[in-house]
Amino acid sequence: DVKVTQSSRYLVKRTGEKVFLECVQDMDHENMFWYRQDPGLGLRLIYFSYDVKMKEKGDIPEGYSVSREKKERFSLILESASTNQTSMYLCASSPGQGGMNTEAFFGQGTRLTVV
C-alpha cells in the first residue's frame, strides 16, 4: 500500500513563527503536492514538485515555500505564520506521468492553528 505520512496531525503555532510541515512517501513517486483545505473553498494547490529540487507554484503560493531535497520528502514552510494560514494542510503524491488514471494518494492531513 502506498503510504504518505505527514509529521503532525495537529499543530498550534504563534503568529510570526516559522513553521515546517513535513511529508514523506514510500512509493518512489516523482510528483508531490501540498494543498490546503478550507470550508467552502475546497482543496487549493499551494505548490507541487515533479522531481527532486524542482518546484512549481500552485494557485495560492503566497506566504509559503517548499523544499524537496530527497525524492521521498516534500516540506512546506510557512516563513512567518499568520492567522489566515490556519487551515487543514494535505500532502499528496502520484507517480510521474504514470498514464491514464494515475491517482493522487494523500497523507492524513495536518490541522494547523495559528494564534
Binding residues for other proteins, per CB under 8 A?
30-31, 33, 35, 40-43, 45, 48, 50, 90, 92, 94-109, 111
CB of 25 to other proteins, least distance (A): 13
DSSP, res 84: G
Cβ atoms within 10 Å, residue 73: 14
Nearer Cβ to other proteins, position 5 or 15? 5
Nearer Cβ to other proteins, position 82 or 108? 108
Nearer Cβ to other proteins, position 58 or 63? 58
CB of 87 to other proteins, least distance (A): 13
Distant-in-sequence, close-in-space partners of 107: CB < 8 Å, separation ≥ 6: 4, 5, 6, 23, 90, 91, 92
Nearer Cβ to other proteins, position 16 or 98? 98
Cell numbers that stand for 46 in this block = 499551494
CB of 80 to other proteins, least distance (A): 27
Composition of the chain by helix, strand, coil, percent to 5: 5, 50, 45
